[in-house]
Amino acid sequence: MTSSSTRLDRYISKNSPYSKSDVRLLIAQQRILVGGKPAESIRQLIDKFSRVELDGVCLQQKRPVYIMLNKPKGVVSATRDGTHTTVVDLIDHPEKHDLHIAGRLDFNTTGLILLTNDGLWSRRLSLPESKLAKTYQVTVAKPLNADYVAAFFRGIYFAYEDITTQPAKLEIVSPHEARLTLVEGKYHQVKRMFGHFQNEVLSLHRVSVGPIALRELEPGQCRELSEAEIRETGGLVA
């Protein structure tokens, strides 16, 4: 059992006049529905997204929400900020204040950012073993060359943490522009990787996270993920 789940008998006792000892009989009489189906056991696990009905009355119905936003420059990756506009401020959704950010972007970094009320999903996206590819468009101050491509593929050593970055794919688009795909998200990683060459990052724009891509979204626009995008990333389709 996870900390976000509870047994059905405990849930019913907390959210109805019935005690835990009554639940077994309620189940036998098929008076409890979970997800539209008769409850199976007093030990059946209930989480915040389970639809629970007792005698035709809905005790809980909360759906998982997955939103993608094209973050503009100068917007804070936070749910609240006393000074700056936050990503949540840009979202028009009735459950916006229940959302949290799955993978932040720096103040001046633009592009794809994901928000959700599903903590298991956001943790899954951030796990190192998920190796979820993140792709960025990068503009730098000095011209790029094949040395960058080779170094990014080998991995770049960060002395402060005493680590070497995992192999990353760098595609040079023009002398000062590149497309970078990596599977990590260490602190200021992209800027530090180019900093290895004393090359300043002038702009950084995230275009995709795994199978989820910005495509037609304009800066400041958002939309809910499609069922296909949710399934491909392990989310719960309502």
- Catalytic positions, written as ranges: 106
Q: Provide the Cα torsion 95, 101, 107, 111; round to 10°.
A: -90
CA distances from 148 to 52, 160, 234 (A): 55, 21, 34
Sequential DSSP letters for 176-220: TEEEEEES---TTHHHHHHHTTT--EEEEEEEEETTEE-TTPPTT
Sequential DSSP letters for 1-29: --TT-EEHHHHHHHHSS--GGGHHHHHHT
CA distances from 126 to 34, 105, 201, 207, 238 (A): 30, 13, 24, 17, 22
* Single-letter residue type at 69: L
